[in-house]
Chains A and B, each alone.
Chain A
Amino acid sequence: MSDKSTDDYWKANVRVITICMVIWALVSFGFGIVFRPLLSGIPIGGTDLGFWFAQQGSMLTFIVLIFYYRWYMNGLDREYGVEE
């Protein structure tokens, strides 16, 4: 494997990590805390969407993020021939 492709592999990895971490921050710090007042117009079972994200939605999103990353990286490992 040439250095060029190692670089590309790492760049693609850092890119997908960045996207996932932005979503990670958005659902927890964003929807769950800072932007909660903006979501107060969306009612959910006696409260609002921000409360749901703080106590349920953020955790569910975290699970989806990890499995998405796993799926993406397994594909990337094969594409660059670096899988075990």
Chain B
Amino acid sequence: MDQFVINLIFVGASFALYIGIAIWARAGSTSDFYAASRGVNPIVNGAATAADWMSAASFISMAGLIAFVGYGNSTFLMGWTGGYVILALLLAPYLRKFGRFTVPDFIGDRFYSQTARLVAVISLLVMSITYVIGQMTGAGVAFSRFLEVDNTTGLLIAAGVVFIYAVLGGMKGITYTQLAQYCVLIVAYTIPAIFISLQLTGNPLPQLGLFSTHTESGQPLLQTLNEVLVELGFNDYTGMHAPQNTLNMVLFTLSLMIGTAGLPHVIIRFFTVPKVADARTSAGWALVFIALLYTVAPAVGAMARLNIITTIYPDGVQEQPLAYADRPDWMRNWEQTGLLAFEDKNGDGFIQYYNEANPPAFAEELGWEGNEMVTFNQDILVLANPEIAQLPGWVIGLIAAGGLAAALSTAAGLLLAISSAVSHDLIKNMINPGISEKGELLAARISMAFAIALATYLGLNPPGFAAQVVALAFGLAASSLFPALMMGIFSKKMNSAGAIAGMIVGLGSTVLYIFTYLGWFFIPGTNMLPNTPDNWLFGISPLSFGAVGAALNFAAAYIVNKATGDAPAEIQELVEGIRVPKGAAGAVDH
């Protein structure tokens, strides 16, 4: 059967499943719409959280990020999983006990201030909207690669499917589609990984295969990889290399961790479980489901990198490389997309792949005149994995459905965070408190439809800075929302002035630092200092600044709180109430 037809069947079947779930899980009340009536089983919520969290970037780009840097990018693995420990221990159980629907709900009530609520809503909207652009473009790319439709059509189909289950079902529809999407994406990710691990090491578990003996060379896989990389003039895989250094690795990992814990679309998932104890359980399962992919990703990265090198140099790096005419089918397929490109610089008909900035001693002697694999997009690693491992066509269909599942599940979670901030925090809590239950549900559905339209528009016309903005989203979450949430729970005396000052200082300093080096609103040429390590304050990269912004937030809040007196007694009582599980209500409204 034609590969296109197989892909169509897999993607079509998965979409039919999502729409079927949407019809089954229609929302009848605001509690359904915002929090799935708090009736979600904690393990189901764990899987939904994992799908919510793992975006197109996790699914498609993570292995490539690690493959081409090696040890230095372990920061992503530790950062994006370590945040769940913070969520489980410091935030989720207490926010669930508080029993509201949104993150600004907590900040507004705990700090008894509409200003605090508004600052939280603005932070939420900025980070969620920027984040959702990447998901929509990711879905468009997956469509155009696997279904041979153009980008725009692909994006519109994706938006249409999200529209059906998000507008109809709200959180309830999203939760159960995310469960299905998790199953699709994890199966799609692990099957090719298992086969590659078996082929290279004989060990079916990629997590163990990464540290096993490479069957062909008879020595550890990572040692073989290091040796061939160094021979070709690349950095070795397991070492730390400039511009990465210990300080930035620590700060970047910490920024990703606390950024993860402060992302509203992740936090609201914990409002859907019945009890406080379930929130703890659910965070544990979420991390189990996430780690299933995140512990496999570094193995996929290292093995795919080695696979590519041994494909090009079948007899060793100093012997005759692969002839261009003999290249395997997967290379031919991906050359058509432009994501992979060769250029025969010395006209010998063979492919020489090496680091031309640091050429090996034998390069000149062998007549090499430059690296001939001129383009290798890191996203190919995961998408072409089944072809590289020579797996059957249905595995490729599965990868297509998996990539789309990862993009759509994250987009839906973000869209819900955006629409509930508008209908619940802005309309119900600030503009029109007298709105009826029915009116609010309608407002929620209309906000959702608007959010999808906006995300689709931005996905079709992505601002040039979309990629950098994801880093900004983590910086914002780390420096604004996370400290406010944590102080709201762990410091009874923290008052509204302190929290507002903290959020503004944290947010302001992080945005300022990022714009100083990356340009105002990321417009090229407007940066005030060149973005190079010797210009960075204390050598801190703009991407790592979220952790510093959070520290400034805590410091500012503490000082202002000391100067303006403690929070009123009834607020301190409220905080004591959220610290114990007993008495959490089912679906509380104001």
The verdict on B238 contacting chain A, using a C-beta distance below 8 Å, is yes
Q: Which residues of the other chain, B, contact A67 by a CB distance below 8 angstroms?
A: 284
CB pair A46–B276 under 8 Å, yes or no, is no
Given the complex of chains A and B, what is the CA–CA distance between A32 and B81 in angstroms? 14
Q: Which residues of the other chain, B, contact A70 by a CB distance below 8 angstroms?
A: 88, 277, 280-281, 284
Please, how many residues of chain B have a CB less than 8 angstroms from a CB on the other chain? 53
The verdict on A66 contacting chain B, using a C-beta distance below 8 Å, is yes
The verdict on B298 contacting chain A, using a C-beta distance below 8 Å, is yes
Min CB–CB distance B588 → chain A (angstroms)? 14
Q: Which residues of chain A from 58 to 76 have any CB-CB distance to chain B below 8 Å in the complex? A: 58-60, 62-63, 65-67, 69-70, 73-74
Complex partner residue of B288 from A63, A65, A73, CB under 8 angstroms: A63
What residue of chain B has the Cβ atom nearest to residue A14's Cβ?
A: B490
CB pair B298–A9 under 8 Å, yes or no, is no
B74-87 Cβ-contact flags toward A at 8 Å (1 or 0): 10011001101100
Interface residue stretch chosen among B4-12, B48-56, B332-340, B573-581 = B573-581
The verdict on B355 contacting chain A, using a C-beta distance below 8 Å, is no
Q: Which residues of the other chain, B, contact A44 by a CB distance below 8 angstroms?
A: 211
The verdict on B473 contacting chain A, using a C-beta distance below 8 Å, is no
The verdict on A39 contacting chain B, using a C-beta distance below 8 Å, is no
Complex partner residue of A62 from B85, B276, B280, B490, CB under 8 angstroms: B85
CB pair B219–A46 under 8 Å, yes or no, is yes
CB pair A46–B226 under 8 Å, yes or no, is yes
Given A29-B253, A29-B254, A84-B275, residue A6 in contact with residue B580 (CB < 8 A): yes
Q: Which residues of the other chain, B, contact A46 by a CB distance below 8 angstroms?
A: 211, 219-226, 238
Q: Which residues of chain B from 214 to 245 have any CB-CB distance to chain A below 8 Å in the complex? A: 219-226, 238
Please, how many residues of chain A have a CB less than 8 angstroms from a CB on the other chain? 43
CB pair B81–A62 under 8 Å, yes or no, is yes
Q: Which residues of the other chain, A, contact B81 by a CB distance below 8 angstroms?
A: 58-59, 62
Given A24-B82, A84-B275, residue A10 in contact with residue B238 (CB < 8 A): no
Given the complex of chains A and B, what is the CA–CA distance between A45 and B275 in angstroms? 43
Q: Residues of B at under 8 Å CB distance from A?
A: 66, 71, 74, 77-78, 81-82, 84-85, 88-90, 93, 207, 210-213, 219-226, 238, 246, 249-250, 253-254, 275-277, 280-281, 283-284, 287-288, 291, 294-295, 298, 490, 576, 579-584
Given A28-B253, A46-B222, 14 more pairs with CB closer than 8 A: A1-B580, A20-B89, A44-B211, A45-B220, A47-B223, A55-B66, A55-B298, A56-B210, A66-B84, A66-B89, A77-B277, A82-B581, A82-B582, A83-B277
